[in-house]
Structure 1
Amino acid sequence: MIILKDSYKFLAFDLGASSGRAILGTFNGSRIDLKEIHRFSNDPVSINGNLHWDILRLFYEIKQGILKASIEEKNIDAIGVDTWGVDFGLIDEKGKLLGNPYHYRDIRTEGVMDKVFEIIPKEEIFRETGIQFLWFNTIYQLYSMKLENSSILEKAKTFLMIPDLINYFLTGVKSTEYTNATTTQLFNTVTKQWSWKIIEKLNLPKEIFTNIINPGTIIGCLTEDIQKELNVSAIPVVSVASHDTGSAVAAVPAEDKNFAYISCGTWSLMGVELEKPIINESSMNLDITNEGGVEGTTRFLKNIMGLWLVQESKRQWEREGEKLTYSDLTQMAKEARPFENFIDPDYHEFGLPGDMPNRVRNYCRATNQTVPVTKGEVIRCITQSLALKYRYTIECLEKILYKKIDRIHIVGGGIQDKMLCQFTADATGKEVIAGPIEATAAGNIAVQAMALGAIKDLNDARRIIRNSFQMQTYKPQNTQEWDKVYEKFIKLIK
């Protein structure tokens, strides 16, 4: 039985590719206030040539977040966890984790996509799943294990996506949340069930896949062991939109339906929200994906490499002994000459860890462009290329939808890059509304509130989010200059 209250306290865990946070959200019926109470790094670990997530360390940090929240607020109404997509853990017959989950940037999926296509044609996979073809999708990770005769896969009794694995550690309940399941390319976006056809053709073990639950489902409560360890009550755990982009899109503060969004961070997820998936030749050829959203919606979007390019460049310069802030890099980029060179942000080699500045230079050299030398020139090249890729993507979306999109909402940590926000308005010629920065946590908490009956529905959640967070609007400038270089960019990426 749900009992409504005047004020709620929700705890959101938002785990990204480089860090995680515990965010305490207070909802008083009209607005959401957020407070970060715990932050921790998420450091992948390379072992014997393979890249893994340190899942036990992450779970330790999650328990620390619960402990800190319980000290600050005695009565936490619910907990929700969101993470990145595609990655997973495997559980044995005794309920024990079989090894550390692999990182999606691990090299084990190199060449596996083509081997899958030898068994199931690319067109059939897209008809069945509607998902963009990315070399690290779950389907290729699992099939790589099949090709290697993995003993872990042979012993596995349960497959759990990363947020579902964490929820299992918290509650003891095994289930798979809808929005993250759709990222696997093993899920039928139309029937909203696992694609047994693909699973059977690849001879993957059917029995490991659990039932699908919708965002807003109360999974269970913290286990007795965790209650005793942390001296907390039996706090309910809600399965939110556990794919972090699903939570971020739920927090887009749109007032109508005619908008595009960019969930901007390590990745740039750019798309629109639809009632039903669009699975046809055009969406497949343009490499657009149909992922699940809150209230059964479809996130019709494209994965773009995003600020990973800047982050990895910064890491390289730090490895070389230079300590630079993102503000330093932005200022350097502003001082560099515009439109000297461009890259395709989604060029395959940019997706791997390593010397990103040198890869950018090599790309420009190979495509007969001016080679960026300074740090500012490298960052300028990356940022203006991202803005132009956004323009290309929104034109693809408009072509498939047969309509013009009025405005772009940018949410997430990437809105701190004001130069990128302005470049996006300039390149696309559309109004850009930036905010909230904490969209993923806000969406996570909104779905928790929906589960407890404190927020009515998604429209109500977006109204509350508009009233809760500050936005900044960017108007297009210098559009003629961007129009001129866009043609050059298009020739480069095609």
Structure 2
Amino acid sequence: MPGKSVNRDVHLAVDLGAESGRIIAGQLSGELLSLQEVHRFPNVPQRIEGHLHWDIEVLFEEICKGLAKAGRLFGKNVRTVGVDSWGIDYGLLDREGNLLKQPFCYRDNRTDEVIDEVFEIIPRDELYKKTGIQIMSLNTVFQLAAELKSPDTSLEKADRLLFIPDLLNYWLCGVSRTEYTIASTSQLMDMRNGDWCISLIENLSIPSEIFSRPILPGTKLGPLKPKIGEASGLEGVDIIAVAGHDTGSAVAAIPAENERFAYLSSGTWSLLGIELKNALITEKTFEYNITNEGGVSRTIRTLKNISGMWLVQECRRQWEQEGENYSYADLTDMASRATPLTALIDPDSIDFIKPEFMPERIWKYCLDRGHDISKDKGRTIRTILESLAMKYRYILEQLEEVSQTTLDPIHIVGGGAQNRLLNQFTADVTGKKVLSGPVEATALGNLIMQLVAMGKISGLKEGRQLIRKSFPPETFLPAVTDAWDSPYANFCNLVGR
């Protein structure tokens, strides 16, 4: 009797983060999905004429290098490619499809002076009610308002707006479309119906014709451009519009077994939320500034953005510039040996939004509140991790209140899921079971939608079962819970409850 044929098809996930980018190859073999990193490269914003921009051409060059590596490794077995990235940021193209300027980085300060002007046109509460999106100064709506005010605005010449993964898809295959999950981060859509809020766009004098109707994750766009296909050895490989927002892809990869779970996508940002069928837009969600972003299979990601491992990343970068090199494991080990619960910060304080000099900012923040942790790197990192865990509990309680649901367990996915100390802190302070992993959730969610597009799996439920079986999560149970009660009360006072 002949042996069972082996599926050698390869699917490539291009996953761009605020710190680095990767190309991950996925292969479905029987009931298991395996991953192999093909290419990794840094992603560093560039300061041009006083503003932070992404070097999008360099990122595209690195993607093409990674595709060529995949071509050498897997040849004709490569079937599809999908791209995901951070949200909000975009490129503007003219009628010939040329990029008018390098995309701005969401951490640029150009939106600082336009927020109040936007609220004069559309009040803060009305903006939220129209869109269901968390008010944040970095949102696309404020970036475009700043673009309108700029003396060298590109909007007058713009024919279309493409978010980062949409722009890269366009360069890869020549098809210009806007994917739903990435568009939903803009605060320019009505999340009740999943389409552009044209009245809002026109009230702000933003040209509505630059926006194209969003397409759903799992849509085939077209094959690689012949020149790219020939150079990489991947002629005819299809580009799939996956969940272009990296968090949308990460949430698709949650190995959940019930509908009452909370998820925490832990990376540069921590995104803590729940999965719903409809947007949750109420007076209370506005008060709590809870967002409703698009998910795969027409789901809604009702969540809160929290400044996550960004604080640790920036401390590490600053110390590296000063000649002291530490791995993330080194910093976590230092934190584990530091005295617990000696200082607290609000990770989302405006003091920590901008890059550079993060350790000094944290030390000043603590000193201003009577806690001196200056120069103590272990206590600094521990303070960040303990404060993050407390912010997770704080937001989780809000989500339980607005959804009227007791959430359990907490699934932590993404690169931050590797921080076992933070995972345990989260279990301890919340009193809930924490399931950690997969680390490569974003790439896996990206790959799941490629498999759906190619008809290899039926949908989100089967994809999550596949991930759970391929990458079993690690369990963290609450241990020392009482010690957190008094510090948590102090934390609530700090953040203004």
User: In which range does the TM-score fall when normalised by the shorter chain?
Assistant: over 0.9
User: What root-mean-square deviation, in Å, do the aligned CA atoms of Structure 1 and Structure 2 show?
Assistant: 1.2
Q: 2:105 and 2:246 mapped to 1: Cα distance?
A: 16
Q: 2:461 and 2:180 mapped to 1: Cα distance?
A: 20
Whether the 8 Å contact between 1:21 and 1:40 is mirrored in structure 2 is: yes
1:357: Cα distance to partner?
A: 0.8
Tell me what 1:42 maps to: 43
Whether the 8 Å contact between 2:260 and 2:405 is mirrored in structure 1 is: no
Amino acid at match of 2:41: F
> Are residue 345 (structure 1) and residue 347 (structure 2) matched?
yes
Gaps of 5+ in 2: none
Amino acid at match of 2:44: D
Whether the 8 Å contact between 1:341 and 1:372 is mirrored in structure 2 is: no
Tell me what 1:457 maps to: 459
Tell me what 1:54 maps to: 55
Whether the 8 Å contact between 2:69 and 2:232 is mirrored in structure 1 is: no
Tell me what 1:11 maps to: 12
Deviates more, 1:362-371 or 1:437-446: 362-371
Q: 2:101 and 2:147 mapped to 1: Cα distance?
A: 13
Amino acid at match of 1:45: Q
1:373: Cα distance to partner?
A: 3.6
The one of 128, 131, 139 aligned to 2:130 = 128
Amino acid at match of 1:107: N
Q: 2:206 and 2:167 mapped to 1: Cα distance?
A: 20
SS in 2 for 1:261: strand
Tell me what 1:480 maps to: 482
Q: 2:12 and 2:85 mapped to 1: Cα distance?
A: 14
Aligned residues: 491
Whether the 8 Å contact between 1:7 and 1:29 is mirrored in structure 2 is: no
Q: 2:295 and 2:141 mapped to 1: Cα distance?
A: 20
1:111: Cα distance to partner?
A: 2.6
> Are residue 31 (structure 1) and residue 32 (structure 2) matched?
yes
Q: 1:311 and 1:465 mapped to 2: Cα distance?
A: 28
Tell me what 2:22 maps to: 21
> Are residue 316 (structure 1) and residue 318 (structure 2) matched?
yes
Whether the 8 Å contact between 2:169 and 2:239 is mirrored in structure 1 is: yes
1:7: Cα distance to partner?
A: 4.5
Whether the 8 Å contact between 1:340 and 1:370 is mirrored in structure 2 is: no
Tell me what 2:286 maps to: 284
1:372: Cα distance to partner?
A: 4.3
Whether the 8 Å contact between 2:285 and 2:402 is mirrored in structure 1 is: yes
Whether the 8 Å contact between 2:221 and 2:241 is mirrored in structure 1 is: yes
Whether the 8 Å contact between 2:269 and 2:307 is mirrored in structure 1 is: yes
Q: 1:287 and 1:414 mapped to 2: Cα distance?
A: 23
Q: 1:104 and 1:367 mapped to 2: Cα distance?
A: 29
1:70: Cα distance to partner?
A: 1.1
1:235-314 aligned at under 5 Å gives the runs: 235-314=237-316
Tell me what 1:105 maps to: 107
1:149: Cα distance to partner?
A: 4.1
Gaps of 5+ in 1: none
Q: 1:399 and 1:141 mapped to 2: Cα distance?
A: 32
Whether the 8 Å contact between 1:310 and 1:382 is mirrored in structure 2 is: yes
1:113-262 aligned at under 5 Å gives the runs: 113-262=115-264
1:328: Cα distance to partner?
A: 1.5
Deviations 1:160-209 (A, max 9, x none): 00000000001111110000100000011112111101100001011111
Q: 2:153 and 2:215 mapped to 1: Cα distance?
A: 29
Q: 1:314 and 1:14 mapped to 2: Cα distance?
A: 22
Tell me what 1:92 maps to: 94
Deviations 1:299-358 (A, max 9, x none): 000000000000000111111111111121112111211111100000012010011111
Q: 1:407 and 1:21 mapped to 2: Cα distance?
A: 29
1:8: Cα distance to partner?
A: 2.7
Q: 1:151 and 1:488 mapped to 2: Cα distance?
A: 46
The one of 320, 336, 339 aligned to 2:338 = 336
Tell me what 2:74 maps to: 73
1:151: Cα distance to partner?
A: 3.5
| TM-score, structure 1 as length reference | 0.98
1:71: Cα distance to partner?
A: 1.1
Q: 1:471 and 1:190 mapped to 2: Cα distance?
A: 33
Amino acid at match of 1:58: L
Q: 1:127 and 1:234 mapped to 2: Cα distance?
A: 44
SS in 2 for 1:276: coil
1:5: Cα distance to partner?
A: 8.9
| TM-score, structure 2 as length reference | 0.97
Amino acid at match of 1:286: Y
Whether the 8 Å contact between 2:337 and 2:378 is mirrored in structure 1 is: yes
Q: 2:310 and 2:11 mapped to 1: Cα distance?
A: 30
Tell me what 1:394 maps to: 396
Identity value in percent: 49
